[in-house]
Chains A and B, each alone.
Chain A
Amino acid sequence: MIRYVLRRLLQLIPVFFGTTFLIYALVWAVPGDPFSGKCGQQACPQAYIDLMTEKFHLNDNLFVQYFKYLGSLFSGDWGETFNGSSVGEMIATSYPITLRLALVAVLIEAVIGLTAGVLTGLRGKGFLDNLVLVSTTFLISLPVFVTAIVLQIVLGVNLGIIDASVSDDPSFGELIVPGIALGSLSMAYVARLTRTSIAENRHADYIRTAIAKGQPNSRVIGIHLLRNSVIPVLTFLGTDLGALMGGAIVTEGVFNINGLGGLIFRGLQNRESATVVGVVVLLVLVYLLMSLIVDLLYAVLDPRIRYD
């Protein structure tokens, strides 16, 4: 198993290069030059463009640019944005915030989603099931920006429970409402995946055994049933952390959270490869780690799964 983990960690290396290159190439391929929108309605002075082009190696071919980027990356320099901010510093401030937000979201969706899923999976058809069905469908069909704004307006402006925007370095508490907005779609996924999985397993023979042993319901469900049903849900949650971190653009925008989503979005608009690549590399790393963790958890949750 150690060998498996080591192998997986080794796989990080090619994936790292693959991803960075891919992203680099993609940002590079985004049409439009970075300076066309820099000077308002006018074209920018050629001298400015030349200087920036040289400074950011924009005239080199893709591979040279990429290797120069890697070179500085390995010397600890994440590069600079066109407005002179250090990408490394910006990521360092944004990263923890987004991570926190995504964690809050994952936590919320896991708790609410799992609870709803287990309850409906066990009860089967009925009022609760329909209620959850309809409310999850609502969450699915409302885009995040609507959910986020509605929450902001209702809780923030109308009821005054929260502030419309969070502070510069938001605490977990402040991130609960943004987390709900961010995690709402995934919550629907979690609830429904759990429900299915539970419904699938609740007739299993070993559940009967657990009942026959006279175990209290809470144990039968919470331990025997859940552990056997949680794998698809866990898979989803595992991939979701990364997705939430990268997909928090809208939520971050609405609650004015200085996170990675905004960073990527601005980087993309300004065609700043350094920012985009930097952030995406981190996101892919999160993905890789999460999928490693999830894969390891599979083996913990279901000992029949073997990796060797």
Chain B
Amino acid sequence: MTDPNLVGGGGADAAQLSHVDSSADAGPKKPRSLWGDAWRQLRRKPTFVISALLILLIVLIAIAPGLFSHRPAGYSDLAHANEGPSADAWFGYDNQGYDVYARTIYGARASLLVGVFATLLTVLFGSLIGIVAGYYGRIVDSLLSRLGDIFAGLPFVLGAIVILTTFNAPGTNPGQVTIIVQVVCSIAVLTWPVAMRIMRSATLVAKQLDYVKAARALGASTPRIVFRHLLPNTLAPVLVYATIALGAAIGAEATLAYLGIGVRPPVVSWGVMISDARDYFRAVPHMLLFPGAFVTITVLAFVMLGDGIRDALDPKSR
């Protein structure tokens, strides 16, 4: 029971401990970690379950839009243009006679890909740089921070035009995958500094704390300090940023589409639909309403998910 080398004053005999053990279900408790605990907690939270289910549904729509809509995204019938929702077209027709429902369903894929991956890239890259800058401080911090300032100062539209047009000579028509990858990368390249600064600030605060000292005293390597000690304690603001950035990325994608450098036909995305609707939504509100609602629901799901995770990662809030 006890390590023979560690004969402590507390070495209790089996009879005494039997009581303690009986308090547990059976045998010693399995050690859990923050993440394990978080997961256990999450599974029991209705908001988490609902948001996860929603996200699953949206992912399913993105993967297999054909299951949800019998019409292809490109279906158009000018004769019905601008007609409101009906049994025939649940979300109505837009000004091009497109079936808004079909397009919304087919638009999920590009939007989700752009939103999720742009956010992931931004946040991963930004956080990494931020945590490094904050932890090392001094010259590393200066270099990385100033680099961030330069990128942050770069107006999004300028950067995006340059990046996207350099990769696609004007007039060419790149493949769908290429363009989505490029859109994701340009968003990430141009927005990482915010994530970086948020992470950096959190790191600056967290690294002063005694438990970091304690970890150093144990001989923990820098990556360990950063990932095991700092990260869980600095994650919350970045997580919040990320869930919102997801929505912002979908919006940014709309801007790019509007500029003619983002995703383009025949690919549909919610961003494209919203940007198409910009001039018409007063007269044909359903053009904006439905893709907008899908974006809202998606973002809501991710925000709720993020909140749930944040709560779960805060042992004190349990």
**Interface residues, chain A, with chain B CB atoms under 8 Å away:** 7-8, 11, 14-15, 18-19, 22-23, 26-27, 29-32, 133-134, 136-138, 140-146, 149, 153, 185, 188-189, 192-193, 195-197, 199-200, 203, 231-232, 234-236, 238-239, 242-243, 246-247, 249-250, 264-265, 268, 276, 280, 283-284, 286-288, 291, 294, 298, 302, 304-305, 307
By beta carbon, the residue of chain B nearest A140 is: B247
Most central of A137, A249, A302 by chain B CB within 10 Å: A137
What separation, in Å, do the CA atoms of A18 and B281 have in the docked complex? Answer: 43
Interface residues of B in 222-259 (CB under 8 A from A): 236-237, 239-241, 243-244, 247-248, 250-251, 254-255
By beta carbon, the residue of chain A nearest B149 is: A287
Interface residues of B in 288-318 (CB under 8 A from A): 288, 292, 295-296, 298-300, 303-304, 307, 310-311, 314, 316-317
By Cβ-Cβ distance, the 3 closest A-B pairs, closest first, are A284-B153, A140-B247, A232-B237
Partner of A235, one of B150, B197, B282: B197
Which residues of A sit under 8 angstroms from B303, Cβ to Cβ?
133, 136-137, 140, 192
Q: Smallest distance from the beta carbon of A74 to chain B beta carbons, Å?
A: 20
What separation, in Å, do the CA atoms of A231 and B146 have in the docked complex? Answer: 19
**Interface residues, chain B, with chain A CB atoms under 8 Å away:** 137, 142, 145-146, 149-150, 152-159, 161-162, 165-166, 169-170, 193-194, 197-198, 200-202, 204-205, 208, 236-237, 239-241, 243-244, 247-248, 250-251, 254-255, 271, 274-275, 278, 281-282, 288, 292, 295-296, 298-300, 303-304, 307, 310-311, 314, 316-317
Partner of B282, one of A153, A243, A294: A153
Q: Smallest distance from the beta carbon of B298 to chain A beta carbons, Å?
A: 8
What separation, in Å, do the CA atoms of A286 and B142 have in the docked complex? Answer: 17
Most central of B150, B201, B247, B251 by chain A CB within 10 Å: B201
Q: Smallest distance from the beta carbon of A127 to chain B beta carbons, Å?
A: 14
B155 touches A280 (CB 8 A): yes
By beta carbon, the residue of chain A nearest B247 is: A140
Partner of B194, one of A136, A144, A236, A294: A236
Q: Smallest distance from the beta carbon of A304 to chain B beta carbons, Å?
A: 4
A280 touches B153 (CB 8 A): yes
Which residues of B sit under 8 angstroms from A8, Cβ to Cβ?
142
What separation, in Å, do the CA atoms of A149 and B280 have in the docked complex? Answer: 11
Most central of B170, B198, B281, B282 by chain A CB within 10 Å: B198
What separation, in Å, do the CA atoms of A8 and B276 have in the docked complex? Answer: 45
B198 touches A146 (CB 8 A): no
Other A-B contacts than A149-B281, A231-B205, 12 sampled, CB-CB below 8 A, are: A15-B146, A18-B150, A19-B150, A29-B162, A30-B161, A32-B170, A140-B303, A196-B240, A200-B236, A243-B152, A284-B149, A288-B146
Q: Smallest distance from the beta carbon of A288 to chain B beta carbons, Å?
A: 5
Known A239-B193, A247-B156, A280-B158; contact A31-B170, beta-carbon cutoff 8 A: yes
Most central of A192, A247, A286 by chain B CB within 10 Å: A192
What separation, in Å, do the CA atoms of A144 and B153 have in the docked complex? Answer: 20
By beta carbon, the residue of chain B nearest A261 is: B155
Q: Smallest distance from the beta carbon of A158 to chain B beta carbons, Å?
A: 11
B247 touches A141 (CB 8 A): yes
What separation, in Å, do the CA atoms of A21 and B166 have in the docked complex? Answer: 18
What separation, in Å, do the CA atoms of A141 and B288 have in the docked complex? Answer: 11
A264 touches B150 (CB 8 A): no
By beta carbon, the residue of chain B nearest A235 is: B201
Q: Smallest distance from the beta carbon of A147 to chain B beta carbons, Å?
A: 10
Q: Smallest distance from the beta carbon of A291 to chain B beta carbons, Å?
A: 6
Q: DSSP majority for the B interface?
A: helix
Known A31-B166, A199-B317, A280-B158; contact A193-B241, beta-carbon cutoff 8 A: yes
Q: Smallest distance from the beta carbon of B265 to chain A beta carbons, Å?
A: 19
What separation, in Å, do the CA atoms of A99 and B154 have in the docked complex? Answer: 17
A232 touches B202 (CB 8 A): yes
Which residues of A sit under 8 angstroms from B193, Cβ to Cβ?
239
Which residues of B sit under 8 angstroms from A185, Cβ to Cβ?
244, 248, 251
Which residues of B sit under 8 angstroms from A236, Cβ to Cβ?
194, 197-198, 241
What separation, in Å, do the CA atoms of A276 and B142 have in the docked complex? Answer: 26
By beta carbon, the residue of chain B nearest A276 is: B158
Which residues of B sit under 8 angstroms from A143, Cβ to Cβ?
251, 254-255, 271, 274-275, 278
A305 touches B158 (CB 8 A): no
Q: Smallest distance from the beta carbon of B144 to chain A beta carbons, Å?
A: 12
Partner of B157, one of A264, A305, A307: A264
What separation, in Å, do the CA atoms of A305 and B205 have in the docked complex? Answer: 7
Q: Smallest distance from the beta carbon of A225 to chain B beta carbons, Å?
A: 14
Most central of A14, A140, A250 by chain B CB within 10 Å: A140
A283 touches B153 (CB 8 A): yes
What separation, in Å, do the CA atoms of A243 and B192 have in the docked complex? Answer: 13
Known A29-B166, A141-B295, A142-B292; contact A232-B198, beta-carbon cutoff 8 A: yes
Which residues of B sit under 8 angstroms from A19, Cβ to Cβ?
150, 153
Sampled A-B contacts (11; CB under 8 Å): A26-B162, A137-B247, A137-B300, A140-B303, A141-B251, A141-B299, A146-B288, A185-B248, A193-B237, A287-B149, A291-B197
B169 touches A288 (CB 8 A): no
B244 touches A246 (CB 8 A): no
Q: Smallest distance from the beta carbon of A237 to chain B beta carbons, Å?
A: 11
Partner of A242, one of B145, B153, B169, B237: B153
Partner of A302, one of B194, B205, B316: B205
Q: Smallest distance from the beta carbon of B135 to chain A beta carbons, Å?
A: 13
Q: Smallest distance from the beta carbon of B139 to chain A beta carbons, Å?
A: 10
